[in-house]
Chain A
């Protein structure tokens, strides 16, 4: 809502600096996004009277002589199609500043001297959509009723001397979507009494109410009032009204349509005028649309009506989408003489949905959906009729048709001054509160501590004591409330156990040099299930923004691969990223969310360096990092097992499922060539990653505190073991045999060499292990270790046909 400072003065006395007033309104009532002063930045714009106007042959230009209040008229060359002698216009004198800080200088056009410029409204800062249609392609010409004289500043006659507050209202404060409502609000804020004019209308035409049959469903329109005005003459509105309209952001159209807009701005009550010819049937019916009905709106939009839309019909034909926009078939036209005026209240939800459904929100619909003042229906109708008589020489027919007239119970709220103070943390006296309600024009009574407040219908946002707390609080001034800290019984803040562990995991991963990424949870249906061992039923959103953001991810790696693609497209090929976040599924009829952790690596372990020690990242590097992570967070590595597995999106022979105590907890592998080669920016890069389900892992590590043990006092004994096996024997199989036979002192087992190639048979490979034995309580003897080694070797030969080397 654009609220004019000048117009506000119709209702109350204001002598504040407009900008300071704007700040005060923001702090107390409604956010004022901007205080605009249209003449700001403009200079030397005056009224001019065109004395004569002669075309320059062979051009579209005219030479004019314009009286600008100086001794001599100015010669000005003007190219506007609508320039003519006798017009009163806006002249930018030499040295003037017009819109966009353009300077006007004396000059010559086609050899003719031109001392200034005759302006169109856009050229002095008007928005295109506010300029009256007939002046959009030319200069602005003042109407004859304008009280102006040549040489005076052009700002006041055009309303540009005004200050305009841009009220950025919240949905509960739709009461300020009118000048009267804004006046009440501003009056309360500055503590000035507000005067709202009533209207007395004496009809001057015959009664019409018996000639018109109106049927309205009160559920659709609890109030539906009509008047008839005959014999109107369509013309421009008087300038005073036009400038109020354009300062409020509404384009003046004609003296009938402008009246309805003006009354809506004034009272907040949306009004509509129909050409009476639309109701030749003598009938008006308000109902919900039938399937298949169509309407062409005033903005030429063809609409297929929905059975939930409220429509106005002539008993048969739809002539308006109620509360939203009229139809072309009942539009006020230049030859319109008789009009029917409507002032009504429609169901807010139905109006909101209709406007949304047809993407056709209007000034009217936005007021209806937020609520309008039930006390203004009649007054608005009478004021509109009166203005039609004044501005369009209409005759107001006797009688009002009130097709529906549902009463609304006035709101009375009982509360206490102490309750209000308790919530605010203040010590405002009862009398002071009464004064605040008086400023708001609420009738209030105080009986001891008890407050009874009668809320006027124009403040339909107020219904419960908490609403009164807000009114008192904001008008008392939030700035005046003392800042305190809650004084409460002690509470212990903190994270849940699970989240504490989760944070520790993130710290370790970060310590390993990974940058944290955050990706979108919504992805494409394909990506949602990539890199996922056992895809579950997906969660998809209704009406997605686009297909690549339609489905909730079941894995995090997909987001990291997207990040890799984004980075590699920008030549960032050294990547070490991780993400910690949730994955989502709809398994078993419930929506499930699991905390995951994923890491992605590509490039080299070290950045390129002069020593050329920049080993390429491979599966085993990433596995080593993962092993370190598991160790650091307290997983017993003896319980971790890797099994070669095939997972969509991952390399078929370089991927393993990770199991802890036999339970699947995640996977590690290389991103498949089918993925990296299909995407241009990835260009077949070697990318490795892992993903863990932290919901499985966290409970495994949440339990024990570390109980410190002293460092071993007895020396360990190390042995190396080199064996030759068939190439398809896995390290896991060998380790299983070694561990099964190593005895209780075998502490550690490490692969120290893997060899395949010349010197050994093609189908064989050689592996070497380092075994560490330790007895923490005694010196370990060679015999014990040798015995264990012999057992290991025998079993390796036996089970895996290994050759000990």
Chain B
């Protein structure tokens, strides 16, 4: 049999074997046998020395062509085998993506602190420093410095927990005002602060009263701070919290540490001012107290009331949260029912 015949035979046999190889291992054996260094094609090349010189060139060409053919077919076969393998694996790995995932706890901030954080950020953006004061406060800072001497009737408005004759659980965050006023160096610029924190009053807990709640105090003192500035500041604040479309009104009120004193109401967001149970049919909801700092408060802290003046305001954070989220029992804030707390995790802050 001449080499031509052998090549033809090898071609048929080789293609059949490639076809037959069912996995990568067998296919590799076939590759070694056909195109390997000691494979059949190589052997044919080696036997060229027995071929007439005029045929050598043609044999050479045919061998190369057949090697290319085998290589192509081997590659194709390999691709096929890999593809089948992947398909088999994919079949095994198939899952029902509609089954639920494994869930665990999602953290969230307490609703009062959501409001507080929001307010703090709002005021920080306007240049206010956030100040913390002690919760066990002295009578001196909580009351006397704030123009509430002993026996002042307004002290009855705030039944206070005393821990001894001179120390108490603060019933208002106003003491922070006095502390900051004493320390502030006005040659370094105006004073702008907010002071948030827990306060305590001797109220029995019920749906609308809590012996512990959160307040935030604000204070701005400089040489030319006006009641118009207070009004503008409070309007922006209430719109920030309760929405741009709220109307506001200022009402005369009374706090010993401010004069004039005002309270701010916003138009009821439930009935839009028409009157409903939430606003007790007045169309308005009281949201905060404020005023121009009383000269006695400034003088008590060693600030010259003839030169400096400004405004102060106080907001009840529990009240803000109650109004904003429609909560009907203040105790919900402090029983920490997880089903209550969870609902606020979607809140912007």
Q: Which residues of A contact B (CB under 8 A)?
A: 26-31, 33-34, 170-173, 348-349, 352, 356, 369-370, 422-426, 464, 466-467, 469-470, 473-474, 478-479, 481-496, 499, 506, 509-522, 539-545, 549, 552, 559-560, 562-563, 566-567, 570, 572, 574-577, 581-582, 584, 591, 593, 605-607, 609-611, 613-614
Q: In the complex, A3→B157 CA distance in Å?
A: 23
Chain B neighbourhood of A499, CB < 8 A:
130, 132
Q: Which one of B124, B157, B232, B261 lies within 8 Å of A470 (CB-CB)?
A: B261
Q: Which one of B157, B167, B295, B338 lies within 8 Å of A171 (CB-CB)?
A: B157
A210 to chain B, nearest CB (A): 39
User: What is the chain A residue whose CB lies nearest that of B117?
Assistant: A503
B250 touches A478 (CB 8 A): yes
B334 touches A518 (CB 8 A): yes
Chain B neighbourhood of A572, CB < 8 A:
337-339
Interface membership of chain B positions 182-212, coded 1 if the CB is closer than 8 angstroms to chain A and 0 otherwise: 0000000110100000101010100000011
Chain B neighbourhood of A348, CB < 8 A:
153
Q: Does B323 contact A (CB under 8 A)?
A: no
B260 touches A171 (CB 8 A): no
Chain A neighbourhood of B228, CB < 8 A:
424-426, 481-484
Q: Which residues of B contact A (CB under 8 A)?
A: 99-100, 102-110, 112-113, 120, 123-130, 132, 134-136, 151, 153-154, 156-157, 161-164, 167, 169, 189-190, 192, 198, 200, 202, 204, 211-212, 220, 222, 224-229, 231-233, 235-236, 249-254, 259-263, 280-282, 292, 294-295, 309, 333-339, 341-342
A505 to chain B, nearest CB (A): 13
Q: In the complex, A492→B220 CA distance in Å?
A: 13
Q: In the complex, A473→B231 CA distance in Å?
A: 12
A437 to chain B, nearest CB (A): 16
B220 to chain A, nearest CB (A): 6
A139 to chain B, nearest CB (A): 32
B110 touches A567 (CB 8 A): no
Q: Which one of A172, A473, A540 lies within 8 Å of B227 (CB-CB)?
A: A473
Chain B neighbourhood of A171, CB < 8 A:
153-154, 157, 254
A474, A481, A487, A584 — which one has the most chain B CB atoms within 10 A of its CB? Answer: A481
Q: Which one of B129, B211, B295, B333 lies within 8 Å of A491 (CB-CB)?
A: B129
Chain B neighbourhood of A513, CB < 8 A:
104-107
Chain A neighbourhood of B164, CB < 8 A:
542
User: How many contacts between A and B, using CB within 8 angstroms?
Assistant: 258
B151 touches A423 (CB 8 A): no
Chain A neighbourhood of B339, CB < 8 A:
570, 572
Q: In the complex, A593→B135 CA distance in Å?
A: 8
Q: Which one of B134, B253, B341 lies within 8 Å of A517 (CB-CB)?
A: B341
Q: In the complex, A29→B261 CA distance in Å?
A: 11
Chain B neighbourhood of A512, CB < 8 A:
107
A577 touches B338 (CB 8 A): yes
Given that A422-B224, A495-B130 are known contacts, is A510 also in contact with B109, CB under 8 Å in the complex? yes
Q: Which one of A522, A566, A582 lies within 8 Å of B336 (CB-CB)?
A: A566
User: What is the chain B residue whose CB lies nearest that of A493?
Assistant: B124
Q: Which one of B99, B154, B252, B292 lies within 8 Å of A423 (CB-CB)?
A: B292
User: What is the chain B residue whose CB lies nearest that of A495?
Assistant: B130
Q: In the complex, A562→B295 CA distance in Å?
A: 46
A622 to chain B, nearest CB (A): 13
Chain A neighbourhood of B154, CB < 8 A:
171
Q: In the complex, A365→B130 CA distance in Å?
A: 43
A18 to chain B, nearest CB (A): 15
Q: Which one of A485, A487, A610 lies within 8 Å of B99 (CB-CB)?
A: A610
Given that A469-B260, A515-B108 are known contacts, is A607 also in contact with B226, CB under 8 Å in the complex? no
B127 touches A492 (CB 8 A): yes
B160 to chain A, nearest CB (A): 9
A605 touches B104 (CB 8 A): yes
Q: Which one of A26, A424, A549, A559 lies within 8 Å of B251 (CB-CB)?
A: A26
Chain B neighbourhood of A26, CB < 8 A:
251
User: What is the chain B residue whose CB lies nearest that of A498?
Assistant: B132
14 extra interface residue pairs, beta carbon distance < 8 Å, beyond A491-B127, A513-B107: A30-B252, A424-B228, A484-B226, A486-B225, A488-B220, A488-B225, A491-B190, A493-B192, A510-B107, A520-B334, A521-B169, A570-B337, A593-B134, A605-B104
Chain A neighbourhood of B250, CB < 8 A:
27, 478-479
A521 touches B135 (CB 8 A): yes
Chain A neighbourhood of B294, CB < 8 A:
466
B225 touches A170 (CB 8 A): no
Chain A neighbourhood of B104, CB < 8 A:
513, 605-607
Q: Which one of B226, B229, B252, B263 lies within 8 Å of A28 (CB-CB)?
A: B252
Q: In the complex, A486→B342 CA distance in Å?
A: 39
B211 touches A516 (CB 8 A): no
Q: In the complex, A109→B182 CA distance in Å?
A: 79
Chain A neighbourhood of B260, CB < 8 A:
466, 469-470, 473-474
Given that A483-B232, A486-B229, A593-B134 are known contacts, is A576 also in contact with B105, CB under 8 Å in the complex? yes
A488 touches B103 (CB 8 A): no
Chain A neighbourhood of B233, CB < 8 A:
485-486
Chain A neighbourhood of B132, CB < 8 A:
496, 499
User: What is the chain A residue whose CB lies nearest that of B99?
Assistant: A610
B253 touches A591 (CB 8 A): no
A29 touches B252 (CB 8 A): yes
B111 to chain A, nearest CB (A): 9
Q: Which one of A356, A425, A518, A521 lies within 8 Å of B229 (CB-CB)?
A: A425
Q: In the complex, A173→B161 CA distance in Å?
A: 27
Q: Which one of B106, B202, B212, B336 lies within 8 Å of A521 (CB-CB)?
A: B212
Q: In the complex, A170→B156 CA distance in Å?
A: 12
Chain B neighbourhood of A491, CB < 8 A:
127-129, 189-190, 192
Q: In the complex, A520→B212 CA distance in Å?
A: 7
What are 8 A-to-B residue pairs whose CB atoms are below 8 Å?
A170-B261, A469-B292, A478-B251, A492-B127, A492-B129, A493-B129, A543-B162, A559-B336
B129 touches A483 (CB 8 A): no
Q: Which one of A27, A545, A609 lies within 8 Å of B211 (CB-CB)?
A: A545
Chain A neighbourhood of B282, CB < 8 A:
33-34
Q: What are the 5 closest A-B residue pairs judged by CB atoms, nearest first? A: A425-B226, A425-B228, A170-B254, A513-B105, A470-B260
Chain B neighbourhood of A424, CB < 8 A:
226-228
Q: In the complex, A52→B228 CA distance in Å?
A: 70
Q: In the complex, A506→B212 CA distance in Å?
A: 22
User: What is the chain B residue whose CB lies nearest that of A169?
Assistant: B254
Chain A neighbourhood of B163, CB < 8 A:
539-542, 591
Chain A neighbourhood of B157, CB < 8 A:
171
B104, B280, B337, B339 — which one has the most chain A CB atoms within 10 A of its CB? Answer: B104
User: What is the chain A residue whose CB lies nearest that of B249?
Assistant: A27
User: What is the chain B residue whose CB lies nearest that of A569?
Assistant: B337
Q: Which one of A487, A518, A544 lies within 8 Å of B110 (CB-CB)?
A: A518
Chain A neighbourhood of B333, CB < 8 A:
518
B110 touches A542 (CB 8 A): no
Given that A493-B127, A575-B338 are known contacts, is A541 also in contact with B249, CB under 8 Å in the complex? no
B224 touches A474 (CB 8 A): no
Q: In the complex, A482→B282 CA distance in Å?
A: 25
A26 to chain B, nearest CB (A): 6
B266 to chain A, nearest CB (A): 14
User: What is the chain A residue whose CB lies nearest that of B259?
Assistant: A466
Q: Which one of B220, B280, B336 lies within 8 Å of A486 (CB-CB)?
A: B220
Q: In the complex, A31→B225 CA distance in Å?
A: 26
B154, B162, B251, B336 — which one has the most chain A CB atoms within 10 A of its CB? Answer: B336
Chain B neighbourhood of A487, CB < 8 A:
224
User: What is the chain B residue whose CB lies nearest that of A603?
Assistant: B105
Given that A481-B231, A542-B162 are known contacts, is A521 also in contact with B254, CB under 8 Å in the complex? no
A516 touches B229 (CB 8 A): no
User: What is the chain B residue whose CB lies nearest that of A576?
Assistant: B105
Q: Which one of B102, B232, B341 lies within 8 Å of A484 (CB-CB)?
A: B232
Q: Which one of A352, A515, A591 lies within 8 Å of B105 (CB-CB)?
A: A515
Chain A neighbourhood of B110, CB < 8 A:
516-518
B105 touches A574 (CB 8 A): yes
A470 touches B259 (CB 8 A): yes
B128 touches A352 (CB 8 A): no
